[in-house]
Structure 1
Amino acid sequence: MSTDSTDKSPKIYRLGELLENAGLISEAQLQTALFDQQIYSDLKFGEILALRGWVSQHTADFFVKYNRQELIILENKRLGDYLIDADLLTPEQLVMILDEQKVNHMMFGSLAVLKGYIKQQTLNFFLKNILSQVNGDRQFWRTTQSSKVSLVDRPLDAKLTQPSEMDITSAKQTDPSEIHWIN
């Protein structure tokens, strides 16, 4: 049976590939665990990773469910909920991020990465593979992955950022020791 290129069924990955794509294990850890699996054939791959302390058993189980398409994707679930389900965030870390989000209005995932709770690669995996199933291609995912437009391609926009002649002459007339906070 040949696979047609128009086949829309999602590709099934091995657990190690998924975890590596999500930035949760390295290629070296993947190869080591595969070697261990040959020796300890009675252990599942996720169990080997958990025994080595590279991911929790709960994290491995989450990704197995995702891979088997058994993960329940709900519209009202948010990124933080999925990260807690995957054992990548604690409820306390979730609360800390939400509190900080109220102050600085940054996106949840950005704060999780900045605080060092997850890697950028892990955030990208969740946005692209899990949350996009609920919300379609979110605008913030498309914009972060789109090509940037150079100012060379758009010289009119660049001119708008330059000070006008009037601003330059008025700046020369002010006392240099005087600081103007508001015009």
Structure 2
Amino acid sequence: MPQQRSIVELLEEIGLISAAQAALARQDQARYPQLPLEEIVVLHGWVRQETLQFLLEQWPHLAKDRLPTLPEFLKHLGLISEEQLGLVKRVQARTGVSMEELVVAYGWVQQETLNFYREATVPPPPVRAVQNMPTGSTPPPLAVEVLLTKHTQHSLTHLVGKTFVVQGTRSGTTGMRVCIEVAPGQHIWLPVETVRVIRTLGTTENVWDDCSTWR
């Protein structure tokens, strides 16, 4: 996960508080500097103390192979109860609708929360193979620049204006996303709207043609 961000930025990214609530928390801290942001969001009743403890003390130290399942993650955040989880499983069995779609449809979980969990738990894929490349050759990767957008303006400002090589792409219900390596072994997924293709690091046209369909 990105480093050096405030708790309100993290909570906003995960979808646990809104942009307006994040702004209000910062205003409150400016008026009452003796109160930490963690205490302010709890006092407002936006987030439980147990949720903050999980995000600040446990989540950063969880290894990839020990990350909680999605139901466990949502329960840690205080977003669903055992009763609600049981209801989701019964509806799933009857309709075949995914858990992600159901918890969003019921209004219990924000899509941003699911995106955050997915990006933390799904490993980046290798750069996709390029057609008509000679056997044994390496496909030329794409270089992209991170743009200043609503998604990057808070916790990812240290990446804005920098160039990264795309490690992989995927499409889903939230649109196309690209994976970049921001530090050795540290990957993040970004919506394609937050990056601009600088160049193809090679001469094969297939890669460039592929990325031209993002928009």
Same fold (TM over 0.5): yes
2:171 is aligned to 143
**Residue 49 (structure 2) pairs with residue 57 (structure 1):** yes
Larger Rg over CA atoms: 1
1:139-171: per-residue Cα shift (whole Å, max 9, x none)? xx9331438xxxxxxxxxxxxxxxxxxxxxxxx
Given that 1:15 and 1:63 are in contact with CA atoms closer than 8 Å, whether structure 2 keeps it comes out as: no
Shift of 1:54: 1.6
Partner of 2:9: 17
**Residues 1:10 and 1:106: Cα distance change in structure 2 (over 3 Å):** same
- Give distance in 2, aligned partners of 1:27 and 1:55: 14
Please state whether the residue corresponding to 2:103 is helix, strand or coil: helix
Q: How big is the shift at 1:100? A: 1.1
Q: Which moved more, 1:92-101 or 1:30-39?
A: 30-39
Q: Give the root-mean-square deviation of aligned CA atoms.
A: 2.7
CA distance in structure 2 between the aligned counterparts of 1:49 and 1:65, rounded to whole angstroms = 17
The yes-or-no answer on 1:89 pairing with 2:80 is yes
How many residues end up aligned between the 2 structures? Answer: 132
**Deviation of the 1:117 alpha carbon:** 0.8
Task: Indicate whether 1:101 and 2:101 are aligned.
Answer: no
Q: What SS is found at the alignment partner of 1:143?
A: strand
In the alignment, structure 2 segments of 5+ residues that lack a partner are 126-168, 178-215
- Partner Cα separation in structure 2 for residue 10 and residue 39 of structure 1: 28
Aligned structure 1 segments of 4 or more residues deviating by more than 6 angstroms: none
| Structure 1 unaligned regions, length at least 5 | 1-8, 148-183
Moved more, 56-65 or 118-127: 56-65
Give the secondary structure class of the aligned counterpart of 1:81.
helix
Q: How does 1:20-31 map to 2 (within 5 A)?
A: 20-31=12-23
User: 2:107 aligned with 1:79, yes or no?
Assistant: no
User: Are the counterparts in 2 of residues 59 and 88 from structure 1 also a CA contact under 8 Å?
Assistant: no
The TM-score, its normalising length taken from structure 2, stands at: 0.53
1:110 aligns with 2:101: yes
2:36 is matched with: 44
**Cα distance 1:73–1:59, how it changes in 2: closer, same or farther (>3 A)?**
farther
Distance 1:60 1:76, change over 3 A: closer
Q: Aligned match of 1:125 in 116, 139, 163?
A: 116
Taking structure 1 as the reference length, the TM-score comes to 0.61
1:18: how far off? 1.0
Q: Larger helix proportion, structure 1 or 2?
A: 1
Q: Distance in 2 between matches of 1:25 and 1:76?
A: 23
The 1:75–1:103 alpha-carbon spacing in structure 2 relative to 1, beyond 3 Å, is farther
Q: Indicate the structure with greater strand content.
A: 2
Distance 1:12 1:121, change over 3 A: same
Q: CA, structure 1 residues 72+86, in 2 after alignment: closer, same or farther (shift >3 Å)?
A: farther
